[in-house]
Structure 1
Amino acid sequence: MTGAVESPFWTFVKQSVKSLFIVAFALSATSYTDDVVGSFEGLETGLSAALNTSTATTPKTTYEALDQSLGKGLDLIKICTENADAAGFNIGTAIGWLIAAAVIAFGTTLVTVIGGAVLIVSKFALAVMFAVGPLFIMLLLFPITARLFDSWFSQVLNFTLTIVILAVVMAMATTAYDAFIASVDLNSNSGESPMWAAVEIGALTGVLVWIILQISHMATGLAGGMSMAAMGIRHLMSPVTGGLSAARTAGNIINPVSTRRDLESGMMASGTRFDHMIAGNTVINPAYRQHVMQNIGKNWGWQKGGSVKN
């Protein structure tokens, strides 16, 4: 009415609805915590539960997986040190068991420390992303800053997938330690070489450390592989905009735009069918019919004026 909005009416409606949704999520603590943060936490929990096989020994959380991995390593170290004590004055055997214990301790500590560091950093970074989340959601209100929301969403998804993949890797580490303990008998009477056991556990922990170091790249690849444009607010609102587009198409059929002669001014005027009916520019109006009949053929006939003679 005041001319402040220059865009079409339906565009204004879509922008208004989008702004209401954005403000509702960004400025309401309950909506943001329950819907946004809760959705990402549910995604993390759901993916972790889906990727981990449900057994009696399977850890329920990533922290439990780290504890179990460390516990398995400590059990192996205890066995090695006990065998070293039992070797007595057999210096070679005692040194072999101590070297095996040192290798197992180093590998177990490395897996636990690196895995714990990745988990803590991801959890802390995810908490920071959630803390500043309302600000980035508000940036969706302006087209020039909407890409910053895509970057924030990508980072949140990246850290979430990092935690999920780490949980799977640590569950695999626990299973690998169980398989190692079942296949290798570290008792002093078994005849098993302690150095060979140290090589095996060293190779196992080396592979696990390498996998843990690749987790961030895996998560970045998965999160970056999703088209952020497809996660934009325009596509998230596609069901609403699709319904509005269908309603607008139906409205054009029922209420099309046409050009008719205005009853008051006599000039040609463009407008919708309802606009013409309100203005009386319709054959239903007797005055309009009379006006049209009076003007039919009014300008027909021979050209008025003089003749041209040679």
Structure 2
Amino acid sequence: MDKKLLTSKIKRRALELGFAKVGITTADDFPEYEAELHDRPGYRPWINPDRSEDPERSYLIEGVRPRGIMPGAKSIVCAVYDYSRLAYPEELTASVARAYLSRAYVPLPDSICGLRARALHDYLTSLGCRVYDGDKELPQRLCCARAGVTTYGRNNFAYAEDCGSFVILYTYLTEAELEYDAPTVRCDCPSGCRKCVEACPTGALYAPGKLAPQRCLLYSHMRDSAVPADIMEANGTLIHGCDRCQTACPRNIPVMRGAAEKDPFLELLKREFDLEKILFMDDAYYERVVRPIMYNYIRKPEVFRRNAAIAIGNTNDAGYIPALKTAIERGEPIVREAAAWALERIGGGPR
């Protein structure tokens, strides 16, 4: 099959499967990405190539040379999933970022999004395109910009036309030679705009396009050690991720205004979601309410409980005082510490 027909078939199938955009770029190296990683302070844990510091981490540097992880690779198929159209319940967005509510980011294999991602992979192989199946990650945002389907935002997110930054990116490295799209590696944010920087509650986004990852709220939600007091205070009621640099963005305002579709599962979940129940959650509640939308990073139940305690502390609701006192008495060490902070913040007494 000639590459023009092959490319056409792939793009048509991706759109049929429900992806909003699809583009293709070369498997050439990404030297600018490598340089940026080394230039950013605080990124050392994510670029250690020998994984000696933490063998469980995914090291971003490994995907900089696609042919190093798949000799003979020629193309990268880039697909964009749009999760912007949902009217996400406020009962959930107060605590969980939209990307996780969409269940599209690193989707579970048996989920709708997981099946969609696998279906495109399988379609590529059915056409004779050998696809990389290893665990090393490509720089997805740069792949998709080089494939002409996204641009950059000053908040470090990728933006797709009509979707804003509420997109999940999927990349498929293949040995097939395909037709390549014109790159859109650029930032289309309004000149001089700093709304995302100003909206960042912890200063993690310290300049346009510059992020200190260990100051990001998501990083604090993932850690199983103590969270600094200033980050707890800035956290609000979030327990998994943060959308503030996205919801403040002028490029996203029209998209958010047009969001009208309801997700029946999230509508069900909003009636079951409760911070106090997460503070004391058992396995059944975790499986029914927490895991379906927050399976990405956190594996220890006590981390969710700790995050719930911090969120409760920022509600200023004295009705939570009995629950916090119980958590101090019965919780795991990181839960007790967060609950004590929360109790003092609400006004239920010193530690």
Larger Rg: 1
TM over 0.5: no
Q: TM-score, normalized by length of structure 1?
A: 0.21
Structure 1 or 2: more strand by fraction: 2
